[in-house]
Amino acid sequence: MKKKLFDKFTELFGSADGARFYFSPGRVNLIGEHTDYNGGHVFPCALTIGTYGAARRRNDRLIHFYSMNLDRFGVVEVSLDNLSFNSKYNWANYPLGVVWAFAEKGYTLDCGFDMVIWGNIPNGSGLSSSASLEVLTGVILTDLFDISDLSMTDLALIGQYSENNFNGCNCGIMDQFAVAMGKKDNAIFLDTSTLKFEYAPIELEDAKIIITNSKVKHSLVDSAYNDRRQECADALAALQKDLDIESLGELSPEEFEANKGLITDPVQLKRAKHAVYENQRTIDAVASLRAGDIARFGELMNQSHISLRDDYAVSCEEIDILVDLAWKIPGVIGSRITGGGFGGCTVSIVKSNSVDTFIESIGKAYKEKVGHEAEFYTVQIGDGAARLDD
Ligand code: GLA
C-alpha cells in the first residue's frame, strides 16, 4: 500500500522524499444507534479497512489533495488563504474542513502540504469513510506541523466539528471517536455525554461478526439525519418543561414511561422512545457480553433493529430484507442495521459453522429480491488512526 501511494505521490509531486505514511480505520457500530447525539452510550469498533495517506509539507501556501479512488477529480488545489467549502472540491471538502477546523481552534498552519489518499472502505456503506478521512487529516496535521497538545480525543472532536460546521452533517461523536481511539480486538463502550469510555475485548469463541453491505444508499441521508436530530431535540425540550435533564440519555426507560405524556407530537415520542431504550439496550448488551451471554447480546441487537425500523424510521426495504433473511438462519445470534441508516450495512453475529450458509443463502435471496448482489465482510477489529512509519 505504501508503495502504491508513494509512487502516485512521486508522479504528482516530483518525488516522495520526506513524505510520511498514515492509516485511519473505518468503524462498525455493534449496538447503540442514534444515541450519540442524545447523550447516550454507543459500542463501536474500528476496522482493519480504512484510509491510507501519504503527506508532506510544502514551501508555499498551497494544499494539494488527491484521491486514488476518485482520480477524476484530479489534484484539488486550495490556498491556505481561502479555506472555504466549495462543492467542486467534492470529497476534498472533508480534509479541507479539518484544516479549517484546526484554524478555527487556533492552529493555523504556516505552510501548505501535499496529501494523497487511497481507501478500501466501500463508499456510502455507512462504515464511516468520512470520519476515517477526517481523523486521518487530523493525525497528518498534528504530525507534519508538530502540534503536540491535541489528544486523539481532541482530533475526534475536531473531525466532528468540521463535519458539523463545514460539511453540514450534524453527526454525533461516535464515528470520529471510534476511528481515533480504536483498539485491536476491542470495542469501545463510550458514554457520549462525558466521553468516558472503556474497552471491551471482543472474544467470540465460536462466532464471527459479519458486515453485509446492501449496496444501496438512499438520497437525502444527511437531511433525514438532521431531521432525526431535530425531532429528538424537540422531544427533549418538551420533557424539560417538567424534568431537569440535559439529554434523553439521562432517562431510564421507567422514567421515560412515567413522563412521556409531556411529548405531545407522536413522531417525536417515537424518536425519543428509541433514544432512551436504545441507550438501555447498549448498557445491557455490554453487560451481557462481559458475562459471556452472547445470546442475550444478539437478542438486544435484534430489538435494536426493530426499534430503528419502527420507531426511528431509519431503515429501508433493502436493509429490512437483509435482516429478515438473517433472522431466519439458524446460527445467527443477532442482526441489525448499523450506522446512520437509509441503506448501508447490517451487522450480524453468526456462529462460525453457519457463516458459509449465511453468505450463500442471503447472497442468493437478496440478489433475487433486490436485483443486485450484497457484499459480505468478516469483521477484523483494528487499531485507531496513526502514522505508520517513523
Ligand atoms: C452516523 C453518525 C453518528 C451516529 C450514527 C447513528 O454514523 O455520524 O454520529 O449518530 O450515524 O448511530
pLDDT tens profile 181-203: 999 999 999 999 999 999 999 99
pLDDT reported for residue 316: 95
Ligand 1 geometric centre to CA of 190 (Å): 13
Atom of ligand 1 nearest to the CA of 32: 12
Which residue's CA is minimally distant from atom 1 of ligand 1?
A: 340
Atom of ligand 1 nearest to the CA of 131: 8
Distance from chain centroid for Cα 6? 27
Strand partners, 294: none
Mean of all residue pLDDT scores within the chain: 96
Backbone angles phi, psi at 225, to 5 degrees: -60, -50
Q: Which residues are catalytic?
A: 175
Atom of ligand 1 nearest to the CA of 130: 8
pLDDT reported for residue 223: 83
- What mean pLDDT is predicted for residues 118-129? 91
Ligand 1 geometric centre to CA of 338 (Å): 9
Mutate to test the pocket of ligand 1, among 37, 160, 175, 228 (most ligand atoms within 8 A of CB): 175
Ligand 1 geometric centre to CA of 332 (Å): 25
pLDDT over threshold 90, residue 19? yes
pLDDT reported for residue 124: 79
Atom of ligand 1 nearest to the CA of 36: 10
pLDDT over threshold 70, residue 263? yes
pLDDT reported for residue 234: 98
Atom of ligand 1 nearest to the CA of 42: 12
Ligand 1 geometric centre to CA of 110 (Å): 33
- What mean pLDDT is predicted for residues 286-312? 97
Mutate to test the pocket of ligand 1, among 31, 171, 314 (most ligand atoms within 8 A of CB): 171
pLDDT for 77-86, tens place per residue?
999 999 999 9
Least confident of 111-115, 220-224, 305-309: 220-224
pLDDT for 214-228, tens place per residue?
999 876 567 889 999
Within 6 Å (CB) of ligand 1, which residues are found? Answer: 29, 33-34, 36-37, 171-172, 174-175, 339-340
Q: What is the pTM of this model?
A: 0.97
Element (H, E) at 372: none
Pairing outcome for strands 76-79 and 207-217: unpaired
- What mean pLDDT is predicted for residues 305-322? 97
Ligand 1 geometric centre to CA of 59 (Å): 38
pLDDT reported for residue 98: 98
Least confident of 145-154, 211-220, 285-294: 211-220
pLDDT reported for residue 122: 87
Which residue's CA is minimally distant from atom 11 of ligand 1?
A: 340
Neighbours of 353 (CB within 10 A): 10
Mutate to test the pocket of ligand 1, among 43, 134, 223, 225 (most ligand atoms within 8 A of CB): 225
Which residue's CA is minimally distant from atom 9 of ligand 1?
A: 172
Which residue's CA is minimally distant from atom 5 of ligand 1?
A: 340
Question: Is there a contact between 248 and 272 (Cβ–Cβ < 8 Å)?
Answer: yes
> Confidence class of residue 390 from pLDDT cuts 50, 70 and 90?
low
pLDDT reported for residue 217: 85
CA dihedral 264, 268, 273, 278 (to 10 degrees): -160
- What mean pLDDT is predicted for residues 137-150? 98
Ligand 1 geometric centre to CA of 34 (Å): 6
Ligand 1 geometric centre to CA of 207 (Å): 26
* Set of cell numbers at residue 28: 462498525
Mutate to test the pocket of ligand 1, among 43, 174, 195 (most ligand atoms within 8 A of CB): 174
> Confidence class of residue 123 from pLDDT cuts 50, 70 and 90?
confident
Q: DSSP class of residue 122?
A: P
Question: Is there a contact between 56 and 19 (Cβ–Cβ < 8 Å)?
Answer: yes
pLDDT over threshold 80, residue 211? yes
- What mean pLDDT is predicted for residues 335-347? 96
Which residues, other chains included, contact 68 with Cβ-Cβ below 8 Å and sequence gap of 6+?
A: 4, 5, 8, 116, 117, 118
pLDDT reported for residue 218: 74
Atom of ligand 1 nearest to the CA of 314: 6
